[in-house]
Amino acid sequence: MARAGGITNAVNVGIAVQADWENREFISHISLNIRRLFDFLLHFEATTKSKLASLNEKLDTLERRLELLEVQVGTASDNPSIFT
Amino acid sequence: METMFSASSVSVPREAASTFDELSMQQSLLFSDSLKDLRNLRSQLYSAAEYFELSYTNDDQKHMVVETLKDYAIKAFVNTVDHLGSVSYKVNGLLDEKVEEVSGTELRVSCIEQRLRTCQEHFDREGLAQQSLIITAPKYHKRYILPAGESMLGSGPGQAIANNEGLSDHNESNDSKLFQAVRSTMRDSPSSATRRAPSPSPSLKSRYRSPSRRARSPSPSRKARSPSPSPRPGKFFSEKRAVSPLPTSNPLLRSGSLASRPAISNSLSTVKRYPSAPRKSLSMRMPAEKDEKKEDEENTSRSKRFLKALLSRRKSQRDDMLYSYLDEY
């Protein structure tokens, strides 16, 4: 009887250990995927920031060029003697 | 039928536009919904974690709670990844679309700038053309551009063309005769300078011909002349050539060397004649040959005769005018 009780305890301990290892494996998988997701978010943030910065620079340049064009067109329209 | 077709053709772009607007609206709504879900996902995960913690501590069936927690974590993770992927994709799409729009706008602006630059260049060119048309080109006297052999009439600038155009055929013929005579005598009669310096090459003949004709030296008759010269050269030529008693070969002596006419310079003795450089070069063009001595003697005798004739008519005004004409050429 004692032997049978010892065997069942060993089996239970083995099952518990296996379940623990399975839980640890699951947690490691989840943490690994969360880390990958975090890396993806960091990369996405960096690329989005660079894209937004380049877009902002382009918009600034475009704004200045448009202002220059506006001034030139305004000057030309204010002096109609240029076209005669 | 046609009206129906036209109505359908008109309605197609409207429908397309409406569908495009609807699609864009749907996409924007989906994007905002996914962003809201992402925002709510954090609170949901926190509430789920609290729930599973309580149930694990209170409930007896811990194994069931752990399994449920695992399933929920997997589903939540997948859902989060899905949401983040869709949101990042939409954000990337929006950014690319804006970058393309900015690139198109830059292209338009550069096109406008190029048009403006082209217009500016055109204005500059037109202004330059107008300003260049205002500037008058300098007009030179005709005698500077006339080839050798043509008549050079008119003394002042601007008179050459008018005088040349207004002359009669008679004057032109007289003038051409006089020039032919001068040229023939210049070729025939070698001067004393010819013997002094031999001509280096026969090409100098043509090179020094025109300067010797153009070279002016203060003639005594011109200096002693009355201050009323002939105002009109054409008129002067017609009168001069018609009445002149001198032979056509006489102008040789005017352009000849100094040694060939010592009598006239001594007799007049008002102004000393100096042989100019073109005359020297004119004499240099003739080859120094020994068999020309006879011709020289003949020429000297001829020149003496001519000088005598000139001295006899020295005081006449026409001779002065002839001298002035010969000095000019």
In the structure, what pLDDT confidence band is assigned to residue B261 with cuts at 50, 70 and 90?
very low
Helix, strand or coil, per DSSP, at residue B133: helix
d(CA B99, CA B124): 37
In the structure, what pLDDT confidence band is assigned to residue B311 with cuts at 50, 70 and 90?
confident
**Per the CB < 8 Å rule, is B109 touching A40?**
no
- On chain A, the residues whose CB falls within 8 A of the CB of B99 are 51, 54-55, 58
In the structure, what pLDDT confidence band is assigned to residue B134 with cuts at 50, 70 and 90?
confident
* Chain A residue with Cα closest to B90: A48
Amino acid at B110: S
List, as one string, the DSSP characters of B188-237: H---HHHHHS--S-THHHHHTHHHHHH-----HHHHTS-S---S-HHHHH
Q: Which of A58, A61, A67, A70 to mutate to test the interface with B (most CBs of B within 10 A)?
A: A58
Q: What is the mean pLDDT of residues A12-39?
A: 91
pLDDT attached to residue A31: 92
Amino acid at A53: A
| Distance to chain A for B99, nearest Cα, Å | 6
**Per the CB < 8 Å rule, is A72 touching B116?**
yes
pTM tops 0.90, yes or no: no
Which residues 23-42 of chain A have a CB within 8 Å of chain B? 23, 26, 30, 33-34, 37, 40-41
| Distance to chain B for A7, nearest Cα, Å | 22
Structure confidence by residue, pLDDT tens digits, B263-283: 444 444 444 444 444 444 444
Q: What is the mean pLDDT of residues B40-64?
A: 89
With tokens 């198109």, the residue in question is B104
Structure confidence by residue, pLDDT tens digits, B207-248: 444 444 444 444 444 444 444 444 444 444 444 444 444 444
Residues 6+ apart with CB under 8 A from B249: B181, B184, B185, B188, B302
What burial letters (b/e) apply to B274-294, b meaning 16+ CB within 10 Å?
Answer: ebeebbbbbbbbbeeeeebee
pLDDT reading at B295 higher than 80? no
Q: What is the mean pLDDT of residues A41-47?
A: 93
In the structure, what pLDDT confidence band is assigned to residue A41 with cuts at 50, 70 and 90?
very high
**Per the CB < 8 Å rule, is A41 touching B84?**
yes
pLDDT reading at A52 higher than 70? yes
List, as own/partner pairs, every contact residues B167-175 make where C-beta atoms lie below 8 angstroms and the sequence separation is at least 24, other chains included.
B167/B234, B168/B234, B168/B238, B170/B238, B171/B234, B171/B237, B171/B238, B171/B241, B174/B237, B174/B238, B174/B240, B174/B241, B174/B242, B175/B151, B175/B237, B175/B241
Of the two residues B205 and A41, the one the predictor is more confident about is A41
Nearest to B302 by CA among B260, B265, B259, B242: B260
- On chain B, the residues whose CB falls within 8 A of the CB of A69 are 109, 112-113, 116
In the structure, what pLDDT confidence band is assigned to residue B161 with cuts at 50, 70 and 90?
very low
